[in-house]
Structure 1
Amino acid sequence: MRCATRDGRDAFDALGLTPDRPGRTARLLGADTPAGGRLELRVERDALAVFAAPATGEPDDPDLLLQIHRAVPAVREEAELPPPLAEPRLELRVDAATARDYTVQAGEYIQIIDVAGRQCSDFVAFHRPKLEDGIERGLDATATRSMTGRAYPEPGLRGKFFDTDLLPLVEVVQDTVGRHDTFALACTARYYEDLGYPGHANCTDNFNGVLAGWGVAPRGGWPALNLFYNTAFDASHLLLGDEPWSRPGDHVLLRALDDLVCASSACPDDIDPSNGWEVTDVHVRVYRPEHRFSVAITHRPDIDLPPRTTTDSAFGTRVRGLGADMTDGGGFWLAERFHGHGATAEYLACRERVAVMDLSQLRKWEVLGPDAETLIQRTITRDARRLAVGQVSYTAVCDETGAMLDDATVFRLGQDNWRFVGGCDTDELLLRETADRHGLDRVWIKPATDELHNLAVQGPRSRDVLAPLIWSGPTQPDLAELRWFRFLVGRIGGPQGIPVVVSRTGYTGELGYELFCHPRDGEAVWDAVMAAGADHGIAPLGLDALELLRVEAGLILAGHEFGARRGPLRGGDRIHRRTRRRGLHRPRCAARAARSST
């Protein structure tokens, strides 16, 4: 079927037809047709159909809406929506290749759900009171990037999206995908035309249509928050796009900071990977402001690993109680800096007195069984066989080419009992793949990140703080005598106290210890350490100060001094160059600081 939308006789003339010829034309609707009148026709065989709505010359000529439905609709398996986060005030479906407008009030939450996965959904919003006064003030990607310093808003301190007046309109509360776009426009007619697809449906025209009723002027291209659109810039500053990371039911939860007019699309792009080559629906839910939702980001470290949503560690309530600016770190909310302290004061507390830091984001695995030692030996670059029970080894983790994947500490708890502590979830895949490759079927790898949360107590007075606090049994060393890269199993407050594992390790270059405990004991452990350190000037330590400490100490970090293209030796050279550029003479490398304090 083909249809022309030109008015009256022009439409017929363009196709060489005569509208008055009997048997070839029919008047379907007329002057006596009431508003909203409709007529349905069924096509029996292939035909050329022309529909015309002749102009009458009146200023308010009525519109004609033509809808064409497939005789055999495409069958698509309906994905099951995730359950609502609370009772929705509004629920609407954005059909594939369309857009919908809706209004929200200040404080309300907007949940935008990718129904079937891998479907881009563009989002625009306007300040409603200004819009009703004829002033268009909508989300502006450039203003947002300038205000936040990020490619797109993320839950936390940099979670707001601003308008052209630099006022925040919405903030991101939850994000289960973590990859979106604010650089490209919502797809435009021009984009498809230039690729040879004239007349292709596009988000910009869809937005123009639904926003026209609000008096919003049409645009040739809409800047938007392009949710689930997987874009990135490469080293040559080329904007790349690939299939979205989103899976069925993934969502972004926004909170309106003012009364807004919003519009969401289900992007019609089916000519490139933007929507995984198939256009599907988007679902929108709006929740009232009295509901409260936790701020969270969801990470999927690898396609073979389950997603992980940002959460507080066992010490989270105590950290937040000190007035910390929080950021996502490996699935845990971590303090960047503390109000009333700041990076410089926190750094000096660690160098001169004692500081405490939440390091629960470190990944832990128990490696158990007769083949455990062999697996550890084949995974790390150090000689694991030389480790005695009660000893820790700091090591690089490399692939077959020598590229450094991670750094880790390995604890030997027994003859066949090891604890692997790294920084990446993918370490688990490496351990399992190494065991499979070498036929090590008598080893068990048990994730323990959620069972062991840990604090770092670092600084020249850390021993003075912990020695009276930690009790150890007759088969364990005393904390005051604990040597460098050794650990003990003890308790806080006596033989019936809180069980902990205490290692003489750290990431600051100072004398220091790490305390591992079960999450249920986290707050009690934090309170005990802070109380014991009160007379020693103990202070909390955030990520900003830790960065100063570890660079000064010459300690490497994934993504900075090493990565998939650099081996451990090049990482050492890189950190040495960084310390020289910063004017740091590295007087307290990790080994020297620890040994000088024995």
Structure 2
Amino acid sequence: MGRGCGLRYGERRDRTASTADSHPRGGIPVTAPLDLSDLSSLPLDLARPRLVQPGLLPVVPGHERYWVRPGGVTALEMEAGDEITIVDRFGAQAAEFTVLGNGGEDFAAVGLRADAPATVLGALTEASTFDNEQVARVVNALAQRGLRPDAAHSVRLFGGWSPAGSREGFTAQRPVTAVVGNPSWQMALEDPNPPSELMIEVQRANPHTRREIELPPPLADPILDVRINNSTAVAYEVKKGDYIQILDVEGRQCSDFLAFDARALQEGHELGLDASTTRHIVGQAYSQPGLYGKFYNQDMDPLVEIIRDTVGRHDSFTPACNAKYYEDFGYPGHVNCTDNFNRQLDSYRVASRRSWPALNLFYNTMFDEHNMLVFDEPWSRPGDYVMMQAQRDLVCASSACPDDIDPSNGWVPTDIHLRVYSPERRFSMAISHRTTPDAEPKLTRQTGFHPRTSALTKQFTEYRNFWLPTHFDGHGPKAEYWACREKAVVMDLSPLRKFEVLGPDAEALLQYCMTRNIRKLSEGQVVYTAICNDTGGMIDDATVFRCSDTNFRVIPGDDYTGQWMRQMATEQGLDRVWIKDSTDQLHNIAVQGPASRDILRDLIWTPPQQPDFDSVTWFRFTIGRIGDHQGLPVILSRTGYSGELGYELFCHPKDAPAVWDAVWEAGKPHGLAPMGLDALDMVRIESGLVFAGYDFDDQTDPFEAGIGFTVPLKTKEDDFSGRGALLKRKENPQRTMVGLELEGNELAGHGDPVHVGRFKVGVITSATRSPILRKNIALCRMMVEHAEIGAEVQVGKLDGQQKRIPATVVKTPFYDPEKLKPRS
């Protein structure tokens, strides 16, 4: 195992939708990020960087960074003089450090003595939740270094109440293998301290002048494993069902892809990828790789389907680079993908072309506001990949693009790597997200309730890194909507982020981060709040649960909110607070509708020290169990996103199917139905409930978003983030949120302009057809001069001038404006 190669058993846990899948980045060293908050702390030559490219270029030569997920292990090869630092990123998380030399353990090589068993290593052979092949790979690799997992020792680091960012550093005196294990546990609802990730930083004593990039380990045993050297191409055959993984080795390198129906080629017909046919069938303005479609030939037969995409930004299905492109720029004779493809495909009797319509992976093209095709450097990082599945037997060709005359390869062509896997090894569908540019990617995953929802529908969409149903077979959005308004529904809302904010400084931190007055929040109470930056723009909205004097649970929509709270804790000098991500420890369903109380009343048991079910009033919560004192533990809150009487149930993901079953059985006599995102959008717009990215963003303040009630400027005396800016904005408002009722039956859409005469006075943020009101309605951010109730405006369609829909400003919420139903 080469230097820097990680045994990535633990790093892949929350980056895949299936626990059997491997980590998408594998053993790639991740470079340290630039700390942009204090450039003065950087060395003089870095204090004014010409370019800031977090996560791509190394700041310090020889510096590497790795993550160890809870329950996982990372192993690294160390040379004499190499320094390793283990970091408890979020605090209160133990680490197990094992050092292996030739033939056995060698703690003396880093000046340590073992003081505890290596429990994480010992559990590897019992890790039934992991793919057996992956477990065997790690166990065998450790055994080769003289270590039997169940007899290994470690040095115990951190734990208890170690502060966030605690660090322990060691220097290797001789070559060793450093193994870091991260203990995991199920978070108790009464003691909310979830396990969190560790970080490893390595500083090499003898860094190479050129960064060494190691490929991620294969996701399974490949049947084809080929390096495509820069400026070359390869042709290859795959069978129906095979998975094709194309990896960007060093980042920002394009790869053109061709595919032909193999049987048709044998019969003398060239049926390859066709851009126009694909564009027509997938229904997109221009075809681009992603999870939402297949790619077709001229006969409308699918050739490949995208299974995974760790980049998220690609091409417009433009031709592969060709000789004419370079000639027109004054570079005759330049090597190009088209000529490389022609040579490779000659043996398959594919006729040469001067230009190939290729699927351009990692190629960052787009249409600008003038409908012009433009391009820039790719978004791909080292180890990023796109995985496709062959829909029939194919002849394929892949290239490592040689373009070095423009930004398409970041100006420097590099290698591409190709792997093909057998269909016997199934892979989850996923795309990848990063909370910040230099963060590790996380693949889309399933919620704990997915085994139940997937049995009721195949209609899923990717929502905030999870798969959620849009609607359910045998129901549909309208039926689900009416069930919510008249009876009851159950919906999966597990993607909501959960953060445990713990410690003596927890209240002070939230008092600064949240617009609401957290000091007034009682134990067992919930409050809805805005979260603003220093300009008053909304970072997020959230509900805050007060669990005790020092324990809070914050439930926002976005991962970044947790990182921002940690940043605020540092800036405010609050070092006795821990912000721990519990999203993977708490998944939740909402039971909403007039019958929700009757469904849950006999289902939820609460202990004597907790409020009983009927004591849980609006925006309160309790801790209980399903059925009786021996039932599954849950948190019940009287909250929701529907405008109806309703509750939310939080539980550990492993308990989620049983919790769903219990609710489902209890709800049958009451007409309980499942509800997806389509119907949820209808009920939340009717109820005037805002949605991030549509009704607010970081340029919108809470007053403009229609939730000014979350900003008690008069009664909250303590300072909070954005207070000064919000005072000025409230004194001089320019826009406000209003409701619109539209004439006729034509819907408005998000982003439609709203006019008075020729000029724009507002914009539609959310819109729907209200079944109960039998009207088209919309939320609109309007200039205050035209926001008076009863004002007449027009919603612009086409170019905003050629077609108008008359509309009237009305009071919101549209439905139950006094909120009598959720309060009932």
In the superposition, the TM-score normalised over structure 2's length comes to 0.61
Aligned to 1:363: 497
Are the equivalent residues in 2 in contact too, given 1:509–1:588 (CA < 8 A)?
no
Aligned to 1:592: 818
Report SS of the residue matched to 1:197.
Answer: coil
2:652 matched to 1:521? no
Aligned to 1:576: 739
The answer for unaligned runs of 5 or more in structure 1 is 1-73
2:215 matched to 1:81? yes
**How many angstroms apart in 1 are the aligned matches of 2:631 and 2:506?**
31
Q: 1:538 pairs with 659, 663, 672, which one?
A: 672
**How many angstroms apart in 1 are the aligned matches of 2:548 and 2:816?**
26
Residues 519 and 444 from structure 1, CA distance in 2 versus in 1: closer, same or farther, beyond 3 angstroms?
same
Shift of 1:416: 1.3
1:135-154 aligned at under 5 Å gives the runs: 135-150=269-284, 151-154=287-290
Q: 2:293 pairs with 125, 137, 159, which one?
A: 159
Residues 593 and 531 from structure 1, CA distance in 2 versus in 1: closer, same or farther, beyond 3 angstroms?
farther
Residues 376 and 596 from structure 1, CA distance in 2 versus in 1: closer, same or farther, beyond 3 angstroms?
closer
Q: Which letter maps to 2:290? A: E
**How many angstroms apart in 2 are the aligned matches of 1:219 and 1:76?**
38
Aligned to 2:575: 441
Are the equivalent residues in 1 in contact too, given 2:239–2:392 (CA < 8 A)?
yes
2:377 matched to 1:243? yes
Q: 1:396 pairs with 526, 530, 534, which one?
A: 530
Q: Which letter maps to 2:615? A: E
Are the equivalent residues in 2 in contact too, given 1:452–1:519 (CA < 8 A)?
yes
Report SS of the residue matched to 1:544.
Answer: helix
Are the equivalent residues in 2 in contact too, given 1:182–1:223 (CA < 8 A)?
no
1:79-228 aligned at under 5 Å gives the runs: 79-150=213-284, 151-155=287-291, 158-228=292-362
Are the equivalent residues in 1 in contact too, given 2:502–2:578 (CA < 8 A)?
yes
Report SS of the residue matched to 1:125.
Answer: strand
Are the equivalent residues in 1 in contact too, given 2:260–2:271 (CA < 8 A)?
yes
Aligned to 1:10: none
**How many angstroms apart in 2 are the aligned matches of 1:133 and 1:90?**
26
Residue by residue over 1:289-319, the C-alpha shift from the partner in whole angstroms, topping out at 9 and shown as x without a partner, is: 2222222222113124321111111111111
Shift of 1:145: 3.0
Query: Cα RMSD between the aligned structures?
Result: 2.3
Further displaced range: 97-106 or 247-256: 247-256
Aligned to 1:7: none
**How many angstroms apart in 2 are the aligned matches of 1:223 and 1:489?**
59
Aligned to 1:499: 633
Are the equivalent residues in 1 in contact too, given 2:322–2:339 (CA < 8 A)?
yes
**How many angstroms apart in 1 are the aligned matches of 2:304 and 2:358?**
13
Shift of 1:97: 0.8
Shift of 1:276: 2.3
Residue by residue over 1:140-168, the C-alpha shift from the partner in whole angstroms, topping out at 9 and shown as x without a partner, is: 2332233223442433xx23112222221
Shift of 1:91: 2.1
Q: Which has the higher contact order (CA 8 A, sep 6+)?
A: 1
In the superposition, the TM-score normalised over structure 1's length comes to 0.83
Q: Which letter maps to 1:154? A: G
Residue by residue over 1:15-56, the C-alpha shift from the partner in whole angstroms, topping out at 9 and shown as x without a partner, is: xxxxxxxxxxxxxxxxxxxxxxxxxxxxxxxxxxxxxxxxxx
Further displaced range: 516-525 or 375-384: 375-384
Shift of 1:479: 2.0
**How many angstroms apart in 2 are the aligned matches of 1:91 and 1:368?**
48
Aligned to 1:353: 487
1:278-427 aligned at under 5 Å gives the runs: 278-427=412-561
Report SS of the residue matched to 2:420.
Answer: strand
1:422-501 aligned at under 5 Å gives the runs: 422-501=556-635
**How many angstroms apart in 2 are the aligned matches of 1:402 and 1:240?**
34
Once the two structures are aligned, what percentage of the paired residues are identical? 56
**How many angstroms apart in 1 are the aligned matches of 2:820 and 2:443?**
36
Are the equivalent residues in 2 in contact too, given 1:504–1:513 (CA < 8 A)?
yes
Are the equivalent residues in 2 in contact too, given 1:180–1:227 (CA < 8 A)?
yes
Report SS of the residue matched to 1:370.
Answer: coil
Q: Which letter maps to 2:818? A: R
- Larger relative strand fraction: 2
Further displaced range: 187-196 or 132-141: 187-196
Residues 350 and 535 from structure 1, CA distance in 2 versus in 1: closer, same or farther, beyond 3 angstroms?
same
Aligned to 1:548: 682
Are the equivalent residues in 1 in contact too, given 2:487–2:672 (CA < 8 A)?
yes
Shift of 1:587: 6.3
**How many angstroms apart in 1 are the aligned matches of 2:330 and 2:257?**
26
**How many angstroms apart in 2 are the aligned matches of 1:529 and 1:581?**
29
**How many angstroms apart in 1 are the aligned matches of 2:320 and 2:602?**
62
Report SS of the residue matched to 1:196.
Answer: coil
Which protein is bigger by CA-based radius of gyration? 1
Aligned to 1:11: none
Shift of 1:420: 1.1
**How many angstroms apart in 1 are the aligned matches of 2:478 and 2:690?**
21
Residues 504 and 235 from structure 1, CA distance in 2 versus in 1: closer, same or farther, beyond 3 angstroms?
farther
Report SS of the residue matched to 1:185.
Answer: coil
